[in-house]
Structure 1
Amino acid sequence: MIDAATDRDLEPYTVSVPDAELAELRERLRAARLPDELPDASWRDGMLPAELRSLRHEWADSFDWRAVEAMLNAETQWLTTIDGTGVHCLDVRSGRPGAVPLLLLHGWPSSVAEFRSVWGPLTAPENGSVAFDAVVPSLPGFGFSGPTRERGWDADRMADAMAVLMSRLGHERFVVHGGDVGSEVATALSRRHPERVIGLHLNLGGTRGAGEHRAEPPANEAQRRAFGQYDAYRANGSAYAAIQATRPQTVAFALTDSPVGLLAWIAEKFREWADPAHPVTGADILTAASIYWFTGTVGSSARFYQESFAGWAAPGAAVTVPVAVCAYPFDIVTPVREWAEGSYDIVQWRDLPDGGHFPALETPHHLIDSVRAFAAALT
C-alpha cells in the first residue's frame, strides 16, 4: 500500500558524477589486486581472467562515462519519492498525437541505459508505425533511484510504485514491457492494476516454466531443449541468485567496495546470457557497472532476490490483460508457449531466430518490431 505522506512530486534530474568520484574509481581499478588463475581457465570457473583484465583496463583508461551522462541527459529525467523511496525515470515523449504510453522495465544486472537503442525508434518512428511516449524508470533500489533502505521492496510493491509513477506523468493507461526482474514487476503490475494496463509485453525467460514442469516428460523438442537449458542453469549458473536471495548483505560488502569485484559479478552474466553472435559490448557492460558503482545500488538490487525468491518458486494468479511474448533461443531458458499459456492470456508469440537475455542490447530490432506490432493490434 502506497503511503502518500512520504511521497513527493516530480523533480528534474540530471546525471552528474563529480570528477573526484571518477578519479577515485580509476585509482581503485588500477590498484586492484587480482586473483591467481589456472592455465586452463574456462567460463565454467566463472569470469575469465583475461576478459576481466581487458575490461578493467578499458574502464580505467578509455571508457567515456561523460558520453553516457550526455546520452542520458539528452532526455527529460525526473526523480520523485514513492512510498518513501526514490524513483528515477527517463520521460521520452514522442510529440505525436495519439502516441501510446509505454513503460519499459529493465532487469538485473541492467539499467535504464539498456534501452538506449530502443526508445528513439519507438518514440520517433520513420514510417507510419505506432509512436510511443516512453517511460524508462530505474526500479526502486536500482541505479539512479538510489538504494532502498527498508525491507519489503518485492515485485508487488515495485508494481504499485510504477502505477503511481505513470499517474504522475499523466499516463492512466499504458503498455508495459519487461525482461528479467522487469518481467516480474510488469507481470505484478498487470495482475494488480489490470485496468491501467493496455497490454503486457515480455521477453519472458522460461526458467520458471521449466522448473514448474521439470518432473514431467518432455512432450516436444521445445520442452526438451528448455529442460536441458534449465538443468544446465541450475547446475552451473544459478549460484549468484542463491547468494543474492539468501546472503545479499554479505556479497554487498565485496561488490560495494571493489569495482573489479562488481565488474566480474555482472560482466559474467552479460557474457553468459547473451547470444554469442550478438555479444553485449564492453562499453555496455561498463555502462551498467558504472551506474551500479556510482549509485551504490549493487546491494539493494541484490536484495530484490531475497524479497521475491519465494514468489518465484510458485506461479501467481493468471494475467488477464493481453500479453505478447518474445522467445529468444539464447535466453537462460527459452520459454515454451504451452507452459506460459497457463499464466498469461497470450495474443502474440514470436519465436525469434537469434538473441538472448538482453534483447534491447543484442537484437533491438526484434524488440522494437514486436512492441510496435503488439501495440498496433491493441490500439
Structure 2
Amino acid sequence: MRTSLDGSLLASVARRLSAVDAARSARYPGDAGGRQPVHTCYIPADQVTGDLPQRWGQAALAALAEYAPGPHAFTQVLGLPAELAEPVHEKVVAKLRREPVEDLRMDFEDGYGPRSDADEDADAVRCAGLTPTLAVPWAGLRFKSFESFERGVRTLDLFLTQLPEIPAGLVLTFPKVTAVEQVTALVELLELIEDRLDLPAGRLRFEIQIETTQSVVDATGRFAIPGFITAGRGRVSGLHFGTYDYTAACGLSASEQHLGHPACDFARHVMQVSAAGTGVRLSDGSTNVLPVGDRDAVHAAWRTHFGYTLRSLTHGFHQGWDMHPAQLVTRYAANYAFYLGNAAADAKRLRAYVDKVEAGVLDEPATAQALAMSMRRAMDCGALSAADVEELCGLSEAGLGRLVRRESL
C-alpha cells in the first residue's frame, strides 16, 4: 500500500533529528549516579584540623544530649510525628557517631577573609596536607572569587599541587561567578594544572556558587547558568546557592535575607530548570540563625534550620550548607523525617508500578524513576537500609538502580 510520504524525504528528516537527539543526549545525560552528600560544612581554612569532623560530631551529640535528651524531648522541639520520634532520634545519634560530616569545604573566601599572602599560602599548603586525614567522603576548598584573581588562583594552585594525592571525593568551589568568561578561564587553568600534575584530562571538576544576580540572569536578560555549564565543558559538578550574597544583591533588608524568601525561590527554580537532566547537582544555601545560647535560643534555631531543610527537600534540593556543629542535629533529623515519612507511600506506589497493580494512582516511568531515586537517597543518607527497601517495595538495590536509569527490570 502506498503512503503519501516519500521514503527518501523521511530518511532525510530522520537524519536531521538523529543529530538533534545526539546533541540532546550529550547535553542531558541524566543523573550522574552515585551518592550525593546531604550537606556541605563550610570551615574557615585557618580553623581546619585533622580531627575536625570528629569534633563536630562530638559537639553535635553534646548539644543533643543537653537540649533534647531522648526521643520525647526531640519530638517536642521539632514537632515530629510520634511514630517517627524514636527512629529519627536513633538514626541521628548513630549518624553523628559514625559519620558526622559528609562534605567539608575548607573556606578561603568569605569565611576566611583577607589575610597576608604568607598566611594564606601557609594555610593552603597545610590544608592540602590535612585533606587525606579528614576521613570524610568529600572534601575540598572554596578559593577566592576572580574578583581577587591572582590570590584565588594562587591558593587553588598551591592546594592542588601540595595534595599528597588527588582524593576521589575532591571538590572545588568557585564563588561569585558573574560571567561565562570566568568559567572558561577556570577551565583553562585546570587544564594546565592537570597537565603539570600528570592527571587525566577532566579529572578536576568544580561547583559553581549561584550568589549573584548576574549568575541567574545575564546582561541580555537570558538565564546565565546554561552558559556556565556549557563553558565548563563537562567539569561543572554542582550548583550551590549562596543565600546572603544573593539576597543582599537583590536589595533585600537584613530581616528579609533568608532561605524562605520568594527571591530565593526564583533563583533556585532557575538553577533547577537550568541543571535538570545535565547531571549537575544542586545544593541549597545556609541559614545564619545558629543553635547557640540558652535553651530557648537553641530550640528556636533548630526549628528554623529543620524547617528550611525540609523545605529544601520538598523543592528538590537534597543538599545544603551547615555552618555550626549543632546544625548537624537538625540536618540529619530533617532528612530522616522526610524519607521515613514518605517511605511507606512511595514504596506502595513503586511496588504497584513494578507489579502492574491498580493502586489508585497511575504512575509512568518518569514517576517510577523519581520514586526509585527517593528510595536510593534514603539509603544513601542512612534513613533506610537496603533490606528496608526490599521489604517495603520488593526491589533489590540493583533493581532500584535499574529503575533510576529507566531500564527494564
Length-normalised TM-score, structure 2: 0.30
More helix per residue: 2
Larger RCO (CA within 8 A; separation ≥ 6):
1
More strand per residue: 1
Length-normalised TM-score, structure 1: 0.32
